[in-house]
Amino acid sequence: MEQKEDKLKEVISHAKEYGFVFPSSEIYDGLAATYDYGQLGSELKNNIKSYWWKSMVQMHENIVGIDSAIFMHPTTWKASGHVDAFNDPLIDNKDSKKRYRADVLLEEHMEKMRLKIEKEVEKGVKRFGDDFDEHQFRATNPNVLRNAEKIKEIEDRMRTSLEANDLEGVYQLIMDCEIVCPVSGSRNWTEVRQFNLMFSTEIGSVSGDAATIYLRPETAQGIFVNFLNVQKSGRMKIPFGIAQIGKAFRNEIVARQFIFRMREFEQMEMQFFCRPGEEMKWYEYWKETRSKWHKALGLGDNQYRFHDHIKLAHYANAACDIEFNFPMGFKELEGIHSRTDFDLKQHELFSGKKLQYFDPELNQNYVPFVVETSVGLDRMFLAVLSASHKNEVLEDGSERTVLSIPPALAPYKAAVMPLTKKDGLPEKAREIIDGLKFDFLCQYDEKDSIGKRYRRQDAIGTPFSVTVDHETLENNTVTIRDRDTMEQVRVNIADLHRLIDDKVNMRTLLV
Ligand code: ATP
């Protein structure tokens, strides 16, 4: 556990040192749970956005993208259920004065029990070696069974209490599980209360006619209210999707995990409109498609897992998370929800406008069903950054820190370095950059020894370093060094573009 916390700390300080992520308004000691992306961070973030947008919009004939406003008519949030039900159950520890989400405390408690089961299985592997039958062991080992049963019981009680809004029941469950505050170690808890996560502000300059409006807590509603606009103007036929990337705001109760849980963050959401009754087919399709999208990054297939929701949101008939193995453990990266016709029907009800589709094949009007995929851009950023961050000991005993960011997402694609600052080498290096810069973001670097410059590029994840030396002036060849293998080969300048493109083009991820 401690090791994992250290890993997160290391990633945070690396992100700051190299210009990926800074605490927001740091000169005033920062603002809790808000962060600014620096010069390299915004490049990485843009590349992640582009990977998502291309895979959704460019690779699907029947998906289009929009960019709706953050402010929306306040009735939107009445209709969507956010005003009444976008709450988290919170609980305070009276000794440490720390605030927690009650459901998260319980989830973490269950996660510890799941780890106990895995330890038991590991012991079994050691004890029985090749003869070990994992399936049978899980089905019969008394310790495993006891823990699995306990987890099931906690899950059931938690779901029942949360669905019935029985906050006393949630409190009792926390007491029964003997959950202690990680900071004070005590069980001196307050009651559980509901807390609405929406930020509100006022629109209109004269206080008399000002109206309360909300900062959107999700981008999805901007898609729903534009369903007919897009369908009609784009002549879209069901099934079709509308995608959007944009800011969302939530007044999170607990915000302690860097960019994992922020109060201002960015979502990449897609609502897929389909025929009623076909939503489970599309739900499965999107689970699979989204899983492939993540795994194509090469961060390790075993770093992902699906987690089915035990408490379904008020709008969903099926929901799961794609979880990623963050430095803090497996946590939600993306949500895939079958939202039924809830949102469109609610907007029909509150707006008095019909939000229906005429299906020429069925010769019938209906309110489409919706499958949503919703991934946090900042969580994607943290997934890429933390999985790429490695401290390596090299053959010669020296060490390096490398960010093995998937090349298509890396901020700089190539660094071009003159061996010395004279003899025309800088000019030659700049000439090379001029040939590459239309397609690749390149960095010119002439300071310090080549070894130091390589380390610097490793630390910011640049896939290629190109060195210009005296031989370059004679025969137009350069050395190109691969970030991951650290191999250097001599190539013709004329071949550089192709060599770089082969590795960094987004195509490598999308096919
Ligand atoms: P959690 O259970 O972690 O609070 P959620 O289930 O409320 O998340 P959704 O409403 O499904 O999240 O939002 C979709 C996606 O938006 C999440 O999978 C996550 O990647 C991202 N997201 C949600 N809240 C935050 C946040 N506070 N900071 C950063 N990203 C977030």
Fold exhibited by the domain 394-510: Rossmann fold (3.40.50)
Name the band, by pLDDT with cuts 50, 70 and 90, for residue 1. very low
Ligand 1 center to 298 CA (angstroms): 23
Residue pair 50/44 in contact (Cβ under 8 Å)? The answer is no
Q: What per-residue confidence (pLDDT) applies to 255?
A: 73
Identify whether the C-beta of residue 213 lies closer than 8 Å to the C-beta of residue 268: no
Supply 128's token pair.
């029985």
Contact 216 CB / ligand 1 (< 6 Å): no
Distance 383 CA to ligand 1 centre (A): 14
In terms of Cα–Cα distance, which of 463, 457, 468, 465 is closest to 431? Answer: 468
Q: From the alpha carbon of 255, which atom of ligand 1 is closest?
A: 27
> With helix as H, strand as E and coil as C, how does 63-87 read?
EEEECCCCECCCHHHHHCCHHHHCE
**481 and 492 Cβ atoms separated by less than 8 Å:** no
Determine whether the shortest distance from the Cβ of 217 to ligand 1 is under 6 A. Answer: no
The top-level CATH class assigned to 87-196 is alpha beta
In 3D space, the residue among 429, 435, 442, 439 whose CA is nearest the CA of residue 479 turns out to be 429
The pLDDT tens digits for 381-402 are 999 999 999 999 998 899 999 9
CB of residue 379 inside a 6 A radius of ligand 1: yes
Residue 335 C-alpha to ligand 1 middle, in angstroms?
8
Asked whether 107 lines ligand 1 (CB < 6 A), one says no
Higher pLDDT, 171 or 3: 171
CA dihedral angle for residue 355, residue 359, residue 365, residue 368, rounded to 10 degrees: -50
DSSP-derived 3-state class of residue 376: strand
Residue 315 has pLDDT above 80, yes or no: no
- CA 148 to chain centroid: 29
Q: Is 335 in the pocket of ligand 1 (CB under 6 A)?
A: yes
pLDDT mean across residues, the chain:
94
Cα–Cα dist 491/499, whole Å: 9
**Which amino acid, one-letter code, is at 340?**
T
pLDDT of residue 313: 73
Instruction: Indicate if ligand 1 lies below 6 Å from the C-beta of 266.
Output: no
Q: What is the three-state SS of 283-301?
A: HHHHHHHHHHHHHCCCCCH
Residue 254: is its pLDDT beyond 90? no
At the top level of CATH, which class does the domain 45-73+205-391 belong to? alpha beta
For ligand 1, whether the C-beta of 269 sits within 6 Å is no
- Residue 204's pLDDT band (boundaries 50, 70, 90)? confident
Among 223, 320, 379, which is best to mutate for testing ligand 1, by the most ligand atoms less than 8 A from CB? 379
Rounded average pLDDT over 333-339: 96
The answer on pLDDT for 349 being more than 50 is: yes
Q: What are the residues whose beta carbons fall under 8 Å from the beta carbon of 39, sequence distance 6 or more?
A: 19
Does residue 89 have its Cβ closer than 6 Å to ligand 1? Answer: no
Give the mean pLDDT of 60-81: 96
In the predicted structure, residue 72 carries a pLDDT above the cut 50: yes
Pocket test for ligand 1, best of 45, 374, 380, 384 (most atoms within 8 A of CB): 374
What are residue 79's phi and psi, to 5 degrees? -60, -40
The stretch 55-70 carries a mean pLDDT of 98
Contacts of 420 (CB under 8 A, 6+ apart): none
Distance 309 CA to ligand 1 centre (A): 13
Nearest residue CA, atom 1 of ligand 1?
A: 332
* For ligand 1, atom 20: residue with the closest CA: 376
pLDDT at residue 317 in the model? 87
What pLDDT sits at residue 2? 46
Domain boundaries defined on the chain: 45-73+205-391, 87-196, 394-510
CB–CB of 236/223 below 8 Å? no
User: How large is the average pLDDT for residues 284-304?
Assistant: 97
State whether the beta carbon of 111 lies less than 6 angstroms from ligand 1: no
Is the Cβ atom of 265 under 6 angstroms away from ligand 1? yes
Per-residue pLDDT at 207 exceeds 70: no
Model confidence at 256, pLDDT cuts 50, 70, 90, reads confident
Q: Does the pLDDT of residue 241 top 90, yes or no?
A: yes
Say which DSSP state 371 is in. Answer: E
Ligand 1 center–CA 376 separation, angstroms: 6
pLDDT for residue 236 is more than 70: yes
Residues making up the chain, counted from first to last:
511
266 Cα–ligand 1 center, Å: 10
Residue 384's pLDDT is what?
Answer: 98
261 Cβ closer than 6 Å to some ligand 1 atom = yes
Q: Whose CA is nearest to atom 4 of ligand 1?
A: 261
Residue 208 has pLDDT above 80, yes or no: no
Is the predicted pLDDT of residue 210 greater than 80, yes or no? no
The overall pTM is greater than 0.85: yes
Q: Looking at per-residue confidence, does 209 or 27 come out higher?
A: 27
Q: Is the CB of 501 under 6 A from ligand 1?
A: no
